[in-house]
Structure 1
């Protein structure tokens, strides 16, 4: 029997291409351009063609898929069968893939996941798993009654520094965790990019509390080793949207806004603000249907926050404080984890131009009644500082002993809590009350 598993890819996004489609096709010599969605090199650096095959692409944009298939044909490759979103269930019935890979916009994840589970098909989905706690509960309920499984690509766990922090905690170096602080910064280039895309509408992304912070919440929950109990916080829109303080005066066309906008002028030529508003990426593909008109960071339809803070309680006694803003002078985070026997501190960051901060990726371990030492950690080869190749290994081949020991692959329940924390944080903004997370994630009876 062939070891190759057959995958249908739902969403021909840049992430879907670079992290899944290209490695599966064995096109490991192609790399993504530095783009506005984070500035990371998503280039594929491992060949998965011996383990997997792409048997279908499901996407709302037929033109984009056609462009991609034309590019494959120029490389001497066969085109991949295309199905419109409305044909998804027909595709599952006709092709019977072993699994689907979901890399479409966040609000579409739920229907793809539930459709696959209804047919006992496995799912690999990009984070966030879904956009609301209710959708997360629905996925967990469906998974319990399906032969299919759900795996979520929370790749932050795989970064070298993050794995080292987990090892230190597991070894009991700082005892029982009592307090965690993460202060996260998204630089003005990366931050502005979210407000030029579908992410800026809560109905499509769940807000940045879900789309972005679920990655951080999963990482923090993984370090702490528990599902959280309660969350409380505040948030606001301080930089972008119609009332942004840097918005040029007057009702101006997008081109005239740019000419006077400090965000645009500071990042002109970076790719954050494409001059023709045509989103391009791997293979020069366009998102012709997704962005039918010019979008700008001060548009009226923006309805999400760009700054927020949270306090989280865990059943074992740990407390987390988390803050983030999306218009910072640098990108990265400061982390402090205190325990009954010591502390772990880590700075990870770079300037807007990509220069690493001087103390970045040095883990300081201070024992309460012992020495203090510094552990130097170096990024590994591959996307997201080497995290993506390691994650793909777990997904498509055999996990290593380290992966099993550290619990690197996120479970559906862990991914559900990461989403629920973001959803609950928005509810806390509105009600000015703490939100009980297990109650919000109450799973329907099977």
Structure 2
């Protein structure tokens, strides 16, 4: 702990310790309690939940980054290094551990928090393997602490309306779901320029990114995944990419010749420390900009997946991480009709986010369109609702938006089943991965 910073005093508010001062760690966890470092702030109130909770510690490997943040928000929160977790708990006495570190380290902090008898709130994915997911479930059963996973897509107004329509019987018994998700080229390339690009650190994008989507579908139709079959490949990135400018070029020349630079601002390819969307640098983790064509990249960038659920429903899912536009096309079919919706992220000439409705086509009768409002804030309007439910929750959760350890485990297990199915060219049972009789 810093010598010049003492633990926060007891105030009666919920006490939080943050593990990982990442962009998400700031926007979802630290920012609501202390404020955002960017100016002007994204929200009019820079610390809207300071009355409900206090951040009593920050654990992160990058002391310089933590100091940048503390100066930016004028906060004296004690800093701890990763090996000082137990000391942090003893000295600052948190009620809740917040986890927003790189994916492969989530399991360590989740298990340490549960061992200490504390509640844990962890960014998605909960962990990066089904084996670790099973460890978390077992630890949660033996601890007075709880686990909550911030699967924020459950909070998007569009998805909450869909969930309610399905629960109300708009399509009868669900028979199948169709989900095509496109990740725009700029966004997709970013995963291959940072730690996400290796399976050892992210679990692959079928876990890191697609767990969002697998959790969303399972929650929408209230069904447990049983079996997965998938195809996938690395088509756009890595050393064999058709867009690779050439290994013989210098790093600067490759950056200049990279066709993905078309999607970047002029400053995005500049030399110097990488800065995030809130203006802080990563001098420790990212001393130089990585190439999306490096040979160490070992994960897929394209997936086609079929998931079977208990009760007979199935999901047909595809995603690519280098699309000309970002968004999705979603349909839910049932014995009594179909629900459809599309979403595009402000890509001309496609309609902007918030302008496409949910359309209900009953099997017998006229269709009806349901407009969607509230998508003009982070992650389709989900983030403000998620943050409110984290730091100032009510007793009610009628749509089941609060994802627990079991939900987090299913999302990870489906993602792992995807890459294992691709590798072995066979269907993979979720129960086998989670070592349970029926997956849970």
TM-score normalised according to structure 1 size: 0.91
Relative distance call for 1:390 and 1:28 in structure 2 (3 A) is: farther
Match of residue 314, structure 1, among 309, 315, 333: 309
Seen in structure 2, the aligned counterparts of structure 1 residues 280 and 257 have a Cα distance that, compared at 3 Å, is same
Aligned residue among 88, 92, 102 for 1:105: 102
Give per-residue Cα distances to partners, 1:307-361, cap 9 Å, x unaligned. 0111011111101110000010110110111000000001011255797448953
Matched, 1:440 2:414: no
SS of alignment partner, residue 87 of structure 1: helix
What's the CA shift string for 1:115-146, capped at 9, x where partnerless?
A: 01001011011000000000100000000000
The CA deviation string for residues 264-291 of structure 1, in whole angstroms up to 9 with x for no partner, is 1x123176x4412522136632111111
Say whether 1:50 aligns with 2:51.
Answer: yes
Residue 332 of structure 1: aligned partner: 327
Verify the 8 A CA contact 1:227 1:314 in the aligned structure 2: yes
**Corresponding residue number in structure 2 for 1:269:** 265
SS state at 1:347 partner = strand
How many residue pairs get aligned? The number is 428
Q: 1:25 and 1:434 mapped to 2: Cα distance?
A: 47
Hey, what's the Cα distance between the residues in 1 that align with 2:392 and 2:237? 43
Question: 1:378 offset after TM fit, Å?
Answer: 2.0
1-side partners of 2:163 and 2:37: how far apart?
Answer: 30
Query: Residue 183 of structure 1 aligns to a residue in which SS?
Result: strand
Question: Relative to 1, partners in 2 of residues 1:44 and 1:331: Cα closer, same or farther, differing over 3 Å?
Answer: farther
**Quick check: 1:349 aligned with 2:340?**
no
Query: Could you tell which deviates more after superposition, 372-381 or 206-215?
Result: 372-381
Q: Which moved more, 1:1-10 or 1:333-342?
A: 1-10
- Partner SS for 1:174: coil
Structure-1 separation of matches of 2:363 and 2:237: 44
Unaligned runs of 5+ in 1: 33-40
* Deviation, structure 1 residue 443: 5.5
- Deviation of 1:400 (Å): 6.5
> Cα deviations across residues 66-95 of structure 1 (Å, max 9, x unaligned)?
2222223xxxx3411000001112111222
Taking a change above 3 Å as real, the CA distance of residues 431 and 290 of structure 1, as seen in their structure-2 partners, is: same
Match status 1:8 vs 2:17: yes
Give the aligned partner of residue 4 of structure 2. none
Query: What is the root-mean-square deviation of aligned Cα atoms in Å?
Result: 2.3
Deviation at 1:411, TM superposition (A): 1.5
- Given that 2:148 and 2:402 are in contact with CA atoms closer than 8 Å, whether structure 1 keeps it comes out as yes
The answer for the alignment partner of 1:231 in structure 2 is 228
CA distance in 2, matches of 1:67, 1:13: 12
TM-score (norm 2): 0.92
CA contact (8 A) 1:45 1:389 kept: no
Q: For residues 358 and 122 of structure 1, what CA distance do their matches in structure 2 show?
A: 35
2:89 aligned residue = 92
The corresponding residue for 2:366 is 371
Contact 2:15 2:94 in 1 (8 A): yes
Structure 1 equivalent of residue 251 of structure 2: 254
1:391 aligns with 2:386: yes
| Cα deviation, residue 255, structure 1 | 1.2
Instruction: Classify the secondary structure of the residue corresponding to 1:8.
Output: strand
Structure 2 unaligned regions, length at least 5: 1-9
Secondary structure, aligned partner of 2:120: strand
Does residue 420 of structure 2 align to residue 427 of structure 1?
yes
Structure 2 CA distance for aligned equivalents of residues 15 and 126 of structure 1 = 8
CA shift for structure 1 position 368:
0.4
Within 2, Cα distance between the matches of 1:225 and 1:31? Answer: 40
Q: Note if contact 2:417-2:428 (Cα within 8 Å) is conserved in structure 1.
A: yes
